[in-house]
Structure 1
Amino acid sequence: MIDMLLLPFQFGFMRNAFLIAAIVAVPTALLSCFLVLKGWALMGDAVTHAVLPGIVLAYIFGFPLILGAFAAGMFTAVATGYLAENSRVKHDTVMGVVFSGMFGLGIVLYTSITSDAHLDHILFGNMLGVQAEDLWTAGLIALFVTVALLLKWKDLMLHAFDAAQARASGLPVGLLHYGLLTILSLAIVATMSATGLILAVGLLIAPGAIAFLVTRSFGKMLAISVVVCLASMFAGVYASFFLDSAPAPTVILILTAVFIVAFAYKTRLNRKASAAMA
């Protein structure tokens, strides 16, 4: 029985999968708290999908794929902010237009190139095929994102909760705004080889949403989101070995299940509190 339980750790590709899961879990979990608090869930989805044309163009011209992804992500974020601030169209509508346009461009470019190389792992992830280079790239980006968020979490929290109050307090609101967008683009690049672009949005929303349900303290929210994301990542990778499924969607399914449990638990507590007051 013990040998069976430890079987996944005997394979190098599984050990790499567990390692990349641990690397990307912390920064995405921390960032998800700010995205949920600020109401930027759609922004995370938009930037995640909109980096596709940058990746394809980088592949066509022989540049590193992560540079193309980062450039496209930053363009999408900045363009969305500029259009929202200089038009009567609401922010979510602008995000929908820019995101769909960029993703459509990426699909057109993706289907138009002819090559022996396949970019499917960019869309769907390739946790079982990560190499040492992917681990180093994701690790360095994850370290930078984690340190930046932990050093400025109070300023970012105030900016996410009330931008007007942050401006009145003398905080550099513009720098915090575009800094958070930069961190978002970097986090997406870090998760690209793990969950892929389509499923990365789950890591950028679900941990923060789960933590938001179970606590009202932002400090505790950060800690809970990291624990939930790490546990779900490890559980998903481990379960995928025995289920013979892809690790990335298995992780997202576990996060979804945890969210449902947290929602049911919070709803039950609210009903008990309402009954006690009545």
Structure 2
Amino acid sequence: MITNFIDGLQNFHFLQNALITAVVIGIVSGTVGCFIILRGMSLMGDAISHAVLPGVALSFILGINFFVGAILFGLLAAVIITFIKNNSVIKGDTAIGITFSSFLALGVILIGVANSSTDLFHILFGNILAVQDIDKYMTIGISLLVLLTIIIFFKELFLTSFDPLMAKALGMNVGFYHYLLMILLTLVAVTAMQSVGTILIVAMLITPAATAYLFANSLKTDDVHCRRTWCPCFAYWTFHRL
């Protein structure tokens, strides 16, 4: 079986595209998923990955690139969820449930209007073997952008994920980094949509990060036992040490 797979990679270009795309998506989704797990926002990844469905359908109706509509609706879902959570007595998980179901229902309606349910329903489950060269290069480009952004803002994302109150005390704009992470999450969900689908991307975001959380004591590579014993003093020291 392994020999046949290696021979297939050498002879079939679509298998090469599928392998490269899968590896890239696995790396970037696991990286973003670490911050999602630390913030207790696992359901947010599920909501945004499904909220892009009406954006894809609307893009198909308007005849524009589906990435545009998907990103806009993903960001819109994140804004609505955050607004409801911060400006009402409704808790975050309830806001996610309301927004998730509403956007999914809107997507189903728009799919019916588009009269092309077969193509658009592939977005839910993906087709890794149908990845073209342009999809592969777009996945690599967006993934590099997401990883570069995380590297640049690692200190800020690190502290706001562990202790947002301390981050506010240090004068950081916690809301900005929250929406920055939502933008990165949306980009990952949209990028993986065509290859692995909006359902599987949730598993790729959450499962690797949750598994790493069971074994790792630090978000960085050094062995800092901070997961169970986090304190504001250590947060301040770590932030200025990075």
Same topology, TM > 0.5: yes
Residues 2 and 197 (structure 1 numbering): CA distance in 2 closer, same or farther, change over 3 Å? closer
1:145 alignment partner in structure 2: 146
For 1:251, the equivalent position in structure 2 comes to none
> Pairwise CA RMSD of aligned residues?
1.7
- Aligned CA distance change for structure 1 residues 5 and 116 (closer, same or farther; 3 Å): closer
Q: Within the alignment, does 1:185 sit opposite 2:190 as a pair?
A: no
What is the distance in 2 between the residues matched to 1:152 and 1:43? 21
> What corresponds to 2:209 in structure 1?
208
Shift of 1:115: 3.8
**Alpha-carbon deviations, 1:22-45, whole Å to 9, x = none?**
221221111000000000100000
Q: Counterpart in 2 of 1:93?
A: 94
- Counting only pairs closer than 5 Å after superposition, residues 160-239 of structure 1 correspond to structure 2 as 160-220=161-221
Report SS of the residue matched to 1:118. Answer: helix
Matched residues in 2 for 1:19 and 1:6: separation?
14
How far apart, CA to CA, are the structure 2 residues paired with 1:101 and 1:2? 45
Q: Residues 132 and 4 from structure 1, CA distance in 2 versus in 1: closer, same or farther, beyond 3 angstroms? A: closer
In 2, the alpha carbon distance for the partners of 1:2 and 1:174 equals 48
Corresponding position of 1:35: 36
TM-score under structure 1 length normalisation: 0.76
Q: 1:85 to 1:139 in 2, by over 3 A?
A: same
Question: How far apart, CA to CA, are the structure 1 residues paired with 2:173 and 2:26?
Answer: 28
Which stretches in structure 2 are left out of the alignment for 5+ residues? Answer: 223-242
* Partner residue in 2 for 1:246: none
Question: Structure 1: how far apart are the matches of 2:185 and 2:102?
Answer: 19
Residue-by-residue CA offset, 1:181-211 (whole Å, 9 max, x unaligned): 1111111111112211111111111111010
Structure 1 segments of 4+ aligned residues over 4 angstroms from their partners: none
Contact residue 26 and residue 146 of structure 1 kept, 8 A = no
Post-superposition shift, 1:58? 0.6
**TM alignment of 1:39-188, pairs within 5 A:** 39-115=40-116, 118-188=119-189
Aligned residues: 221
Q: Does 2:11 align with 1:4?
A: no
Report the Cα offset of residue 3 of structure 1: 3.9
Does the CA-based 8 Å contact 2:56-2:120 persist in structure 1?
Answer: no
Once the two structures are TM-superposed, the CA of residue 83 in structure 1 deviates from its matched residue by: 1.0
Q: CA deviation at 1:215?
A: 1.1
CA contact (8 A) 2:125 2:199 kept: yes
One-letter code of the match for 1:21?
A
Give TM-score scaled by structure 2 length.
0.87
Percent identical among aligned pairs is 38
Per-residue deviation, 1:111:
2.7
Deviations 1:48-93 (CA, angstroms, capped at 9, x unpaired) = 1111001100110011001111000000000110111110011110
Partner of 2:19: 18
* SS class of match (1:70): helix
How far apart are the structure 1 equivalents of 2:209 and 2:143?
Answer: 17
